[in-house]
Amino acid sequence: MSEILFQHEEQVQAFFAGINNRDVAAIEAALEEMTSSEAVRALLMLKEEDRTATLELIGPTFAADLVEEIPTEQAAEIVEQLDEAKAAEIIEEMNASDAVDIIQDLDAADAELILNQMDSEDAAAIRKLARYDEDVAGGLMTPDCLKFHESQTVADVIAFLVSDEEEFETYQTQHPYVVDHREKLVGVVSLRKILGSRRSMALSELMAPADSVSLLTPLEDLEDVFDDHPYLSIPVTDGRGRLVGAVTREAVDDATIERVERDALKTSGLVEDELRSMPTLLRARRRLSWLTVNIGLNILAASIISSYEETLAAVIALAVFLPMVSDMSGCSGNQAVAVSLRELSIGVTRPSDLWRIWRKEVSVGLVNGLALGVLIGLVAWLWKGNPWIGLVVGLALALNTLVAVSVGGLVPLVLKARQIDPAVASGPMLTTITDMVGFFLVLSIATALMPQLV
């Protein structure tokens, strides 16, 4: 492992040495000097048994900091290998949202064993949060709120804020939320107003109406809330209006990024998060399940070519340009897919926007198709010395680019409307259509212009 370069190489080597010697103090001292990304990278380089031993040796706070930085699916696999009591200690030290994500990814029986080892109050909070999808407010919120009753005073708030600096860090993005005797949210007070008011003043005299979201508010709507308002967090209420938690801007931003990354991976045929430290057979199986589907799709594209064998035999030069037309059109289509997936993820596009999206894509496709068509047409003419070959290839590419951007822009919306994951299915559909249409256009136009080509 010594050939791997880190920013803090000396500390990383001390980390590895500490693991070999099972020296807890040395491991923790090295972790304190390393960046979080270095620590996670070093941990994932270890053999599974050493990784498990390390997390069981070090203090739960150190372990929790490491596990929080690992992608959820693999973090769950790592936690699953730990002793239940140690896993419970680590989960208790984690951010509530991250802890819930891991518990949800565990086998139900393993999750229950860990929860049974935890403090009953912490376990109950995680069970409650685990009922909600990760892309709604209930799954994104933290149950830790800076909450006070309306009868409490400014002095009570200040006393709390100075009583425990470490605990206050949990609430640093929140203003004090105010509830009534039934725990219903009734208002919010800014910290600036708290500091500028008499200590004897009741919060009910200072509070302002508070915006809130429900437990089932989807990620797209949460993004709109934070886009429209300068909030760092927003309170979450249940069906009876009771304050149950708060969603931070950071949590929403992280969830949006994760969704976009997941969709990008799915478009590449990786239907779940993958890291190279995962078992080889697991990674191979996941990729192969996707790649085998493409065999059938490519057979469809090949069938178009086989039906025009005579044209290809007569004008063999066209064979050089077939992959160019399909590939360049596919690139244009993939750009449209990426934009549609991103707009669906952040909520600015809905499946009902088909006509608007198509008009937007066609306008881009016309410009790019014409430019690319002229360019490749000139190349074909100069290369093969026949302007008609240039016309065939250029016209086919221009038309296929229009088809590609239309398919790329619209297919994700259609799949979304039919409750099919657009990130998984859009790629192969686009590839198949652009290949088949591209081959058809080149060969059918060439067949029509055969006297000028031979």
CATH at residue 209:
3.10.580.10
Sequence-distant (≥ 6) Cβ neighbours of residue 449 within 8 angstroms = 388, 391, 392
CA 371 to chain centre: 34
Q: Flag whether pLDDT at 45 surpasses 90.
A: no
Instruction: Say how far apart CA 308 and CA 208 lie, in whole Å.
Output: 74
Task: Answer yes or no: do 246 and 388 share one domain.
Answer: no
Task: Answer yes or no: do 86 and 153 share one domain.
Answer: no
- Residue 161 has a CB neighbour count (10 Å cut-off) of 17
Higher pLDDT, 136 or 275: 136
Please report whether residue 23 resides in a domain: yes
- Residue 38 has a CB neighbour count (10 Å cut-off) of 19
Please report whether residue 108 resides in a domain: yes
Q: Residue 103 is part of a domain; what is its CATH number? A: 1.25.60.10
Strand partners for 242: 184
Q: Flag whether pLDDT at 454 surpasses 70.
A: no
Q: Within 13 Å of residue 149, how many CA atoms lie on the same side as its CB?
A: 6
Task: Answer yes or no: do 108 and 210 share one domain.
Answer: no
Task: Answer yes or no: do 118 and 151 share one domain.
Answer: no
Task: Answer yes or no: do 224 and 82 share one domain.
Answer: no
Please report whether residue 264 resides in a domain: no
pLDDT, position 270: 47
Range in 147-156, 297-306, 440-449 the model is least confident about: 297-306
Please report whether residue 28 resides in a domain: yes
For residue 159, what is the DSSP state?
H
Residue 316 in tokens: 């063999």
Instruction: Say how far apart CA 63 and CA 78 lie, in whole Å.
Output: 11
Please report whether residue 40 resides in a domain: yes
For 182, phi then psi, to 5°, come to -100, 10
Give the count of domains, the chain: 3
Range in 43-57, 64-78, 115-129, 308-322 the model is least confident about: 308-322
CA distances from residue 435 to 38, 344, 389, 408, 432 in whole angstroms, order as listed: 43, 26, 19, 13, 5
3-class DSSP assignment, residue 238: coil
Q: Residue 449 is part of a domain; what is its CATH number? A: 1.10.357.20
Q: Helix 84-93 and helix 108-117: axis angle, to 10°?
A: 80
Please report whether residue 357 resides in a domain: yes
Q: Flag whether pLDDT at 148 surpasses 90.
A: yes
| Residue at a domain's end among 200, 222, 257 | 257
* CA diameter of the chain: 97
Task: Answer yes or no: do 336 and 407 share one domain.
Answer: yes
pLDDT level of residue 286 (50, 70, 90 thresholds)? low
| Residue at a domain's end among 257, 290, 309 | 257
Residue 129 in tokens: 């949060």
Chain segment 177-231, per-residue pLDDT in tens: 999 999 999 999 988 888 888 999 999 999 999 999 999 999 889 999 998 988 8
Task: Answer yes or no: do 245 and 292 share one domain.
Answer: no
Instruction: Say how far apart CA 377 and CA 382 lie, in whole Å.
Output: 9
Question: What is the mean pLDDT of the segment spanning 431-438?
Answer: 83
Task: Answer yes or no: do 297 and 439 share one domain.
Answer: yes
Please report whether residue 154 resides in a domain: yes
Strand partners for 246: 142, 235
For residue 177, what is the DSSP state?
E
For residue 176, what is the DSSP state?
P
| Residue at a domain's end among 100, 135, 170 | 135
Task: Answer yes or no: do 238 and 304 share one domain.
Answer: no
Strand blocks (E) in 291-449:
none
Chain segment 389-433, per-residue pLDDT in tens: 889 999 999 999 999 999 888 988 888 888 766 766 677 778 778
Please report whether residue 104 resides in a domain: yes
Task: Answer yes or no: do 433 and 395 share one domain.
Answer: yes
Instruction: Say how far apart CA 367 and CA 371 lie, in whole Å.
Output: 6
pLDDT, position 39: 87
Question: Tokens 């990008």 label which residue?
Answer: 264
Domain extent, residue 292, equals 280-453
